[in-house]
Structure 1
Amino acid sequence: MKQTYIFTVILGLMLVMTNCMDAKNNKANGAGVKPDADNAELKLPDRFSALKVADNVGRARHIAVTQNGEVYVKLNRTVDGKGILLLADTDGDGRADEQSGFGDYGGTGIHLNDDYLYASSNSTVYRYKLDDKQHVLNPDQPEVVVSGLIDRRQHNSKSFTLDDDGYIYVNIGAYSNACQERDRTKGSPGIDPCPILEQAGGIWRFKADGLDQSYEDGIRFATGLRNVVGLDWNRQDNQLYVMMHGRDQLHDLFPDLCTTQESADLPSEAMYALKEGDNCGWPYMYYDQIQHKKILAPEYGGDGKKEYDGPAIDPALAFPGHLAPNALLFYTGNMFPEKYKNGAFVAFHGSWNRAPELQEGFYVVFAPFKDGKPTGEWEIFADNFAGMENVVSPGDAVHRPCGLAQGPDGSLYVSDDAHGTIYRILYK
C-alpha cells in the first residue's frame, strides 16, 4: 500500500515536470500561437501570417530572441530609466504579458551570444552574464567591452554583430554626409584625404571577451562606409555582411548635376561582403545601381557620369536609394520554405531624402542566396508597416521596421521604432 502511494506520487511529479517542459517547449516552438486576424495589418506572401507580440514599448531598435522565445529589445531612448526590455509570454499565446527592464542608456545594438547578452549605447558596448534560461544575472553590473567610441550625434548608432571566432564588429558611422569642408552645404568641396576615416566611417573589430577596450585595442576592419546600422555574420560564407546608408542630397548640394528624381533614386543602399582591409569608397564615390557603376562623388569633381578609379570594392547587392536599411539577418531556421534558407532579410526603415518625391521603404525585403552569395534578386517580403500607400514624410508612417531576429522555432521577429511594436511572422 505504501509502495503504491509512493509510486503514485512519483508518477504525478513526473507528469507535472513533463507538462512544464511541454509548456516551455510549446512557447518556444510557437505551438498554440494564433496569428492576428488581420495579420497585424501586414501584407505577406501566401501562407505567411503575423501577430503583434507587444505594442507601445518605446523606440524599439534591434532585438534578440532567447531559446525560450523571450524577446530582448534595445530602446533608442530609455523608458522609465530603462534602455533594455525583456518581453515574456507566460501563457503561450505568442503575446508578451510580462515586461521587465534594465540598462540606463539608450542605443541600438543588442545580441545574444553563448553565455552573454551584448548591448550598445552610442559610445559603449556592454555585456551581461546570462543564466541557463538566458536571463541576465546582474542587470545593474554590466561589463564594459569597449568604450570611448565617437558620438557626434550624426550616424552615431553603434550597431554590431559577432562571428564564431570570438570577435565583435562595431559600426563607427561617419559624422558627416559626404566629408565636405562645410557639411551639407551647397557646392562645398570634399576634404581630400577625408580625416573622418581615421576614427569613423567604417567597421572596427574587437575581442568579444575583452574588457575595457578602446580604439587602440581594436582594428579598423573595413573603411569607406558612411554608416552601417544593419549587419550580420553570414555563417554559410563565413563572412561579414553590412548594409550601408548611402549619402544624401545630391540635388540639394549640386542641382546642376542631378535632378530631384535622380536624387530620389541615387545612390544605392548597398550590401557589402567584407574582408579585413576592404574599402567601400565613401566619401569619394557612390554606387549607381542604374548605371551599375562606381561614380565619382561631385564633391571630388564628379559629374554623375565620371567613374571612380580609386580603391573600392563592388557591392554584393544594390538596392534603390534612400530606403534606410536598419537591420540585416541571415535566415537559418526551418519554419520557412527552403528558398529562404541562408538568404538575407533586410529591414528598410524609410528615409526622408526622397523629397519632393514620395518616400519609400517601410518594409522588410528578402534577398535569396546560393552557395553563400546573393543571387542578385530581391523581393518585398513584409509590407504595409507605414499604414498607407503614399508616404510624403517619414513621420507620417505609423510603423517603421528597424530590427530583425529569428526565434527558436524559425519565426521572424521585426521591431518598429515609431510606435514601439514587436511583430512575429509565422509560416504554415
Structure 2
Amino acid sequence: MMKTLLRTTALAAFAVPFLFASSLHKYWLPVEQIKLKVPEGFTATTIAANKGRARHIAVNTNGDVFVKLERLSGGAGILRLRDTNKDGFLDDTLKFGNYIGTGIAIKNGYLYASSNDDVFRYKLKANGDIENIENPDKIVSGLVNKNQHASKSLALDNAGNIYVNIGAPSNVCQESDRKKGSKGMMPCPILETAGGIWQFKADKLNQTYADGVRYATGLRNVVGLDWNSDANDLFVMQHGRDMLFQDFPEMFDAKAGANSPAEEMFRIKKGVDCGWPYCYFDNDKKLKLLNPEYGGNREKEDICATKEHSVAQYPGHMAPNGLLFYTGNQFPAKYKNGAFIAFHGSWNRPPEPQYGYFVVFQPFKNGVPSGEWEVFADGFAGENINRAKYRPCGLAQGPDGSIYVTEDNAGMIWKVSYKK
C-alpha cells in the first residue's frame, strides 16, 4: 500500500492529499485542515475527512474507529475506519449497517449501534473484524420515531445494562407543536413512550418497551450521555426548549431568549423526573421555573421546585451532542474523571450572534461537577460564527488515552493527544 504523502496536523491550514482506501477502491481526496485551538501541550490532528454526517463515534481496543452516520453513505450507516499502515491516518474504510442514526458504543467485545427505531449488537473478533456484520443481533425494537428528536443515543453501564435516549417529538408538549399561543398539555401524553431514558438488558435479544424500564423521565432530548464509572451513575446533557423570545417577547428580550433556557447536565438515578415539558432552567435568574405554556411568568417555580435539578448549566441553544468522561492516563491529572462536552452549536439565538461550536471541559470532583467549565477545543466554526464550517458532535476515548472528535458538516475526525 502506498504511504501517505504528508502527515497532516491540525496546525496546518492548507489542503493536502491523502490516501483513502475502502474494501473495493482507493481514491485520492483532499484533506482540508482546520487550525483547532487546544491547550498548551495538546495536539489536534486530522485523521479522517469527507466521511459524511459523522455523528457519534467509538474506538476499539485495537484502534479501529467506528462512526455512526446521520445519512447513508453507499447504502450504509456505519463506518469502520482503520489505520492499516500505522501512519496516523484512517486509510481503510468498511461500510455496513443499512440504517441511519446516532448511537454507537463498544462494551465487552460487542459493538452496539442504533437506528432511529432499534438497537443492534455486533460481535467483534479478537482482530477487530465483525463476526455478524450482515446479521446483527436486534437488542431493542419498536421505539418511538416521529422524525423530530428521533436519534437513539446510547450508553452502557458496568452491570450489563444499556441506556437509550428516546427524545420527545415536540418542543414543549403543546396542543399544537411550536405554534405560538398553543397551550401545553398537562399531563403530557408524550412522556409515556418518549421524553426520557429507557434501560434495557445489553445481552437480551428482541426487547420492546414492555421489557425495558423508564429509567428517567422529563428530558426533552438527550444526544450526549455517558456512564460515569467514578460516580457509578448515568449523566446526560439535555437540549433545552426553543422559542422563548419569539413566542413570549413580553417576558424575554432577544438577549434573554438567546441565553435561556440552559443546556443542562443531569445526574440520573432510577426514577428521576427532570421536569420537561413543564419546567426550564433560566440562566439569568439561576432558577428552574415553570414554562410560559403552563402558566409560568418567569417568576413561578410551582411544581418545578420538586423536579430533579441539573448539576451543571450552560448557555442556551448550544446543542450538547457529545458527552465523555475521561478515564485515561495520557492527559494531565486535572482531566481525570472530568467531562468533555461537544457543543454542536446554536440556531435559535437571532438576532443575537450564534454561539457554541466547541468542545468544553467540565471539571469533576468526587463524582460531581466542581468548578467552572472551560473551552478545550475551539476553531470549528471558522471565521463566521453565524455560518459555522464544522459542528462538533461525537466524542470517544482511544486505548492510548487520546480523545477523538467528530463533526457532522463535512465529516472530519480529529485525534487530540497530549505530550509533556
TM-score of the alignment, normalized to the shorter chain, above 0.5: yes
User: In the alignment, which residue of structure 1 is the partner of 2:139?
Assistant: 145
State which drifts further: 249-258 or 358-367.
249-258
Shift of 1:254: 1.6
What's the CA shift for 1:259?
1.1
Aligned partners of 2:122, 2:10: CA distance in 1, in Å? 34
Contact 1:294 1:308 in 2 (8 A): no
Q: How does 1:20-419 map to 2 (within 5 A)?
A: 35-38=9-12, 40-310=34-304, 311-388=306-383, 390-392=384-386, 396-419=387-410
Deviation track 1:296-319 (CA, whole Å, cap 9, x = no partner) reads: 100011111222334311101111
Give the stretch that moved more between structures: 282-291 or 229-238.
282-291
Deviations 1:235-281 (A, max 9, x none): 00000000000000001122222111111000000000010000100
8 Å contact kept, 2:34–2:379: no
Note if contact 1:328-1:404 (Cα within 8 Å) is conserved in structure 2: yes
Q: What is the DSSP-based 3-state SS (H/G/I as helix, E as strand, rest coil) of the residue aligned with 1:100?
A: strand
Residue identity in the other structure for 1:282: W
Once the two structures are superposed, residues 173-195 of structure 1 have per-residue CA deviations (whole angstroms, 9 ceiling, x without a partner) of 00100011111111111011111
Conserved? CA contact 2:11–2:36, under 8 Å:
no
What is the one-letter code of the residue matched to 1:184?
A: R
CA contact (8 A) 1:317 1:376 kept: no
- Gaps in structure 1 of 5+ consecutive residues: 1-32
Give the whole-Å Cα distance in 2 for the aligned partners of 1:156 and 1:376: 33
- Per mean C-alpha deviation after superposition, the further-off stretch among 287-296 and 242-251 is 287-296
Give the drift of 1:37: 3.6
Q: Which has the larger radius of gyration?
A: 1
Report what 2:19 is aligned to. none
Provide Cα deviations, 1:367-406, integer angstroms capped at 9, x if missing partner.
Answer: 0101111104100000011112x422xxx21110000000
Determine whether 1:425 maps to 2:404.
no
1:346 counterpart letter in structure 2 = I
Q: In structure 1, what is the Cα distance between the partners aligned to 2:8 and 2:246? A: 48
AA of the residue aligned to 1:316: V
Q: Which amino acid aligns with 2:76?
A: K
Superposed CA RMSD:
1.2
Kindly indicate which of the two structures has a greater share of residues assigned to helix.
1
What's the TM-score, normalizing by structure 1? 0.90
Distance 2:11 2:296 in 1: 52
* Residue 34 (structure 1) shift: 7.5
Is contact 2:196-2:214 (8 Å) kept? Answer: yes
Residues of 2 paired with 1:246 and 1:73: CA distance? Answer: 26
Once residues 365 and 77 of structure 1 are traced to their aligned partners in structure 2, the CA distance between those partners, rounded to angstroms, is 26
Q: CA deviation at 1:36?
A: 4.1
CA contact under 8 A between 1:64 and 1:111: conserved in structure 2? yes
Larger strand proportion, structure 1 or 2? 2
For the residue of structure 1 that corresponds to 2:385, the secondary structure is: coil
Name the counterpart of 2:23: none
- What is the CA distance between 1:35 and its match in structure 2? 3.8
**1:41 match: secondary structure:** coil
- With normalisation by structure 2, the TM-score equals 0.91
Q: What is the identity, as a one-letter code, of the residue corresponding to 2:283?
A: Q
The range that moved more, 148-157 or 301-310, is 301-310
Alignment check: 8 A CA contact 2:161 2:201 kept:
yes
Q: Is the 8 A contact 1:247 1:267 kept in 2?
A: yes
